[in-house]
Amino acid sequence: MDRRILTISLISLSLAACSNVETRKQAKGDFDYVNIKSSKELQLPEGLEKPAENTLYSIPEVNNQGPVGKRVDVRAPALVLPLASGSRIDEFDKTAAIWFDKVDDDRDLRELLIKAISDYLSTEEVTFTSEDLANNVWESDWFHVEEESGYLFWSSIDLTESWRFRYSLITKPHGRSVGLNVELIDYMHTSDKGSTKKIDPIEQQRVEMAMINAITSQLDYQYRLNNRDDRIARANMEIVTLGESDKGEPALIIDYPIDELWRYMPGFFEQYNFKVTDLNEDKYFYDVEYTLIEPSLWDSIWGDEMPVVNFKDGPYRFKLTAKGKQTTLVIQDDDKQVLSKELLEENFEVLDPALSFR
């Protein structure tokens, strides 16, 4: 499956204790300092006076209980990446590792996130072992990574690493924000040196962050699939129709939400020779100056002839009004008179594709 997204696979974060992985954890250079002993205190012959000591650079005695030398993991901590639209890290709300805000009013954000988790598990051939819908908690089966050596009949598995995760969702009361937490709940590492169920905290944090980033990438991919499907559906439907405003005025009914259409309108004005002179985003109107430019003979010969809106030169006001998920567009002339139904019909062949923004 060509997902065309930043795929963060757990395989790339294998916790295997093989030499190449261990090398990536270690600082470069030698570790002779581990075996260095403290120098003995200066011994003076009798009769000599001990010189004054400067303790400015003295190293205090430390009771070190942590790893030293090759056992020190020098890698930086992994980070949660807000890869999907509407995703964010909230430094003031640590109840979730990452938050997702609703960007698609037509789809339930919680269901989209559950689908993203399920779809990612499917790509790794993993399923859920438990689902607690009431408490928004899911647990996965085992993710496995195996490392082989040899060839064909002489191949052997040198090590196996396995992980199981718990996924928890937190939904804000308004339902427009959902938080995600991922917790590593089981771990197993088996090699020719034996087996262990222990994992160091740095590795655990890296694997948990990688899982969150993989799910966020999957959600971003789902968003883009939904946008593509919406565009295809819109391309096959009638976007612009003739109708009336709530006041009974001749109008164009456009199948875009008002905020979306508001963002598209400057492109229409620029392409069809309207110059914006004023606008009011709170009241949703554009004041424009229109100059009618008839196409030249050469334009028609060379195939550069552009469709022309057959309005008189002068100022106009394009007034947008929300109508559910659609927008009503009323056009007024310089005298604040609404353009007639006949004039809209005359120009509909040009306005329809222009305001469809296909």
In sequence order, the 6+-apart residues with CB closer than 8 A to the CB of 107 are: 226
Confidence of residue 45 (pLDDT cuts 50, 70, 90): confident
- More confident of the two residues 37 and 354: 354
User: What is the model's pLDDT at position 24?
Assistant: 60
Residue 354 has pLDDT above 70, yes or no: yes
pLDDT, tens digit, 9 for 90 and up, residues 172-220: 998 899 999 999 999 998 877 778 888 888 889 989 999 999 999 999 9
Q: What per-residue confidence (pLDDT) applies to 149?
A: 61
Percentage of the residues of the chain whose pLDDT score is greater than 90: 54
Closest CA to 256 of 357, 108, 341: 357
- Residue 305 confidence (pLDDT) above 70: no
Mean pLDDT, rounded, for 122-135: 93
Give the integer Cα–Cα distance in Å for 110 and 99.
11
Burial of 100 (0-12, 13-18, 19+ CB in 10 A): buried
Distance CA 3, CA 196 (A): 35
Q: Identify the band that residue 267 occupies on the pLDDT scale cut at 50, 70 and 90.
A: very high
Strands 285-290 and 314-323: antiparallel
Residue 109 has a pLDDT of 94
Higher pLDDT, 299 or 328: 328
Q: Residues 6 or more apart from 97 whose CB is under 8 A from it?
A: 80, 179, 180, 181, 182, 208, 209, 212
Residue 20's pLDDT band, with cuts at 50, 70 and 90, is very low
Mean of per-residue pLDDT scores for the chain? 84
The predicted structure's pLDDT at residue 151: 59
Lowest mean pLDDT among 99-103, 112-116, 201-205, 218-222: 201-205
Identify the band that residue 29 occupies on the pLDDT scale cut at 50, 70 and 90.
confident
pLDDT above 70 (res 246): yes
Pick from 286, 293, 291: nearest CA to 332: 286
* Span 20-40, average pLDDT: 69
Alpha-carbon span 169 to 182, nearest angstrom: 9
Most confident of 5-14, 20-29, 202-211: 202-211
Mean pLDDT of 320-345: 95
| Cβ 134 vs Cβ 233: under 8 Å | no
In the prediction, which pLDDT does 12 show?
Answer: 45
State pLDDT tens for residues 223-235. Answer: 999 988 887 777 6
pLDDT(297) > 50: no
Residues of the chain with pLDDT > 70, as a percent, come to: 85
Q: In terms of DSSP H, where are the helices of the chain?
A: 19-25, 109-123, 201-235, 258-271, 297-302, 341-356
Supply the pLDDT for residue 56.
85
Q: Is residue 240 over pLDDT 90?
A: yes
